[in-house]
Amino acid sequence: MMSLAELQRRIDHGDLSADEAIARSCEATDEHDKTIGAFVCRVKDAHAASTGPLRGIAVGIKDIIDTSDFPTEMGSAIYRGWRPRADASVVAMLKQAGATILGKTTTTAFASRDPTATLNPRNPAHTPGGSSSGSAAAVAAGMIPLALGTQTGGSVIRPASFCGVAAIKPSFALLPTVGVKCYSWTLDTVGLFAASVEDLAHGLAAMSNRPELRPRAALETPRIGVVTQDFAGAPDAASGEALRIAGGAAERAGASVRAVTLPEIFAQAWRIHPTVMEFEAHQALAWEYRTHHDAMPPLLRAKLDETVGLLPAEYDEARGIVGRARAALACLFDDVDVLLTFSAPGAAPKGLDWTGDPSFNRLWTLMGVPCVNVPAYVAEGRLPVGVQVIARFGDDAGALEAARFVEEALTRG
């Protein structure tokens, strides 16, 4: 994979020009994307900006995120060839920081569950996960050092786990969703994919103009609470192994690691995530559903058909549970700095007809808290399995720092 931090260092030291760095991404993409299919479209003659912390960094943008100079097709025939007027805020922020937008990456239609044709670069017989399929795959295949995705259930952390890359779903609204196709306005969160947690920290700090997110020289030793989310079902052996390995490595590196049991309110919150998500989706996608019902992607259409009777009262009750669970979660973080849990129930499923199960992600999206995927284990078939490090709402710096601690601990073994 391409390291963003390493590219930045070489560009800063004059060992590599920003244009050379972009050219490398173009070449790597030419080489790998023929088989992987991570991009929907991209520029052929990409150039670097002359200034900005992300000059020389080629970025892939999930194709539900508006771009003024590329079509934005939402993974759906309904938007074939659609050209938005403006860049989404996150695209403008990347450009402001000097990044070069290389192109648009594949997304399941409307970031829901209808799969793309993108292959998993670790094992092309398996899905890269979704909905941010192309962004995870493009980084995993070493085409680009940074990509944007979005998560409403598990659409950033799960594909990152399946593809063996680092990713962050930041605190809700840390990155604006202005210009991002909405599925659920209380859940949709823009996230980043990169080769390492350090890269994520550099990328997020630069685009958000938040120097406090940059990697610190000396890592604090975190207090880690391990949660298994029993209400979400049992993970496969591979995910169990990943969590055991990550927890063990962190402990050997000096972290305090202990099991934490989530109170009942979290099981309730986990259960009502679909109520919040689908109630809002019916409003967010009302025009598409009303006027292009037949052209809607079939899995999404079936889900919307099935939930068409959801009442505002059910939604309001679900939102009440969310409020109580968030308050309970804030208390939980009095005793630990971060939580550590599964990124997915197992390695990437075989085939391309299913993007995998977001069961271990949806509670944390609902809580709005920052989650970082760290690759922790490689299962049979060269299939990576990650763990996620979760911090208090707003403590994205803490989530990144603890994730880097776990990442480094895993390197040492």
Give residue 248's identity as a one-letter amino acid code: G
Closest CB 47 distance from its own copies, rounded Å? 17
Name the segment binding its own copies (CB under 8 A); options: 34-42, 181-189, 244-252, 335-343: 181-189
| Cα distance between residue 50 and residue 99, in whole Å | 10
Of 284, 318, 339, 366, which lies in the binding site for its own copies, with binding defined by CB under 8 A? Answer: 284
- In the block, which residue shows the tokens 């605190």? 171
Name the segment binding its own copies (CB under 8 A); options: 15-23, 214-222, 278-286, 342-350: 278-286
Of 35, 209, 256, 411, which lies in the binding site for its own copies, with binding defined by CB under 8 A? Answer: 209
Closest CB 297 distance from its own copies, rounded Å? 16
Q: Give the angle subtended at the CA of 222 by the CAs of 221 and 226, to the nearest 5°.
A: 140
Q: At what angle do helices 197-208 and 4-12 cross, to 10 degrees?
A: 60
Give one DSSP letter per residue of 176-228, joined into a string.
--TTB--S-TTT-EEEEEESSHHHHHHHHHHHHT-GGGSPPSSPPPPEEEE--
Name the segment binding its own copies (CB under 8 A); options: 78-86, 128-136, 218-226, 244-252: 78-86
Closest CB 79 distance from its own copies, rounded Å? 7
Residue 192: beta bridge partners? 148, 168
Q: Report the site for its own copies in 304-363 (rule: CB under 8 A).
A: 311-312, 316
Question: Binding to its own copies by residue 220, rule CB under 8 A?
Answer: no
| Cα distance between residue 246 and residue 261, in whole Å | 18
Closest CB 215 distance from its own copies, rounded Å? 17
Question: Binding to its own copies by residue 35, rule CB under 8 A?
Answer: no
| Cα distance between residue 119 and residue 33, in whole Å | 10
Residues recognised as catalytic: 62, 131, 155
Residue 193: beta bridge partners? 147, 167
Question: Binding to its own copies by residue 294, rule CB under 8 A?
Answer: no
Closest CB 160 distance from its own copies, rounded Å? 25
Residue 323 carries which DSSP code? H
Question: Binding to its own copies by residue 208, rule CB under 8 A?
Answer: yes
Name the segment binding its own copies (CB under 8 A); options: 22-30, 92-100, 101-109, 242-250: 92-100
Name the segment binding its own copies (CB under 8 A); options: 46-54, 77-85, 111-119, 266-274: 77-85
Question: Binding to its own copies by residue 79, rule CB under 8 A?
Answer: yes
Question: Binding to its own copies by residue 82, rule CB under 8 A?
Answer: yes
Buried b / exposed e across 3-40, counting CB within 10 Å, b at 16+?
A: bbbebbebbeeeebebbebbbbbbebbeebbeebbbbb
Task: Output the six-digit token pair for 352.
Answer: 């391309």
Specify the residue, 92 or 200, whose C-beta has the smaller distance to its own copies.
92
Closest CB 265 distance from its own copies, rounded Å? 20
SS3 265: helix
CA distance between the termini of the chain: 21
Q: What separation in angstroms does the CA of 68 have from each of 51, 92, 294?
A: 21, 10, 28
Question: Binding to its own copies by residue 101, rule CB under 8 A?
Answer: no
| Cα distance between residue 145 and residue 406, in whole Å | 21
Specify the residue, 274 or 394, whose C-beta has the smaller distance to its own copies.
394
Name the segment binding its own copies (CB under 8 A); options: 162-170, 279-287, 299-307, 332-340: 279-287
Query: How many other C-beta atoms lie within 10 A of the C-beta of residue 323?
Result: 10
Of 5, 61, 92, 340, which lies in the binding site for its own copies, with binding defined by CB under 8 A? Answer: 92
SS3 378: strand
Specify the residue, 244 or 319, whose C-beta has the smaller distance to its own copies.
319
Specify the residue, 47 or 258, whose C-beta has the smaller distance to its own copies.
47
Of 151, 177, 196, 388, which lies in the binding site for its own copies, with binding defined by CB under 8 A? Answer: 177
Question: Is the previous residue joined to 131 through a cis bond, with omega within 30 degrees of 0?
Answer: yes
Question: Binding to its own copies by residue 51, rule CB under 8 A?
Answer: no
Question: Binding to its own copies by residue 216, rule CB under 8 A?
Answer: no
Of 47, 210, 252, 293, which lies in the binding site for its own copies, with binding defined by CB under 8 A? Answer: 210
Closest CB 394 distance from its own copies, rounded Å? 8
Task: Output the six-digit token pair for 119.
Answer: 């292959």
| Cα distance between residue 362 and residue 195, in whole Å | 24
Task: Give yes or no for a contact between 22 and 47, defined as CB atoms under 8 angstroms apart.
Answer: yes
Which residues lie near its own copies (CB under 8 A)?
68, 79, 82, 85-87, 89, 91-93, 95-96, 173, 176-179, 182, 185-186, 208-210, 280, 283-284, 286-288, 290-291, 311-312, 316, 394
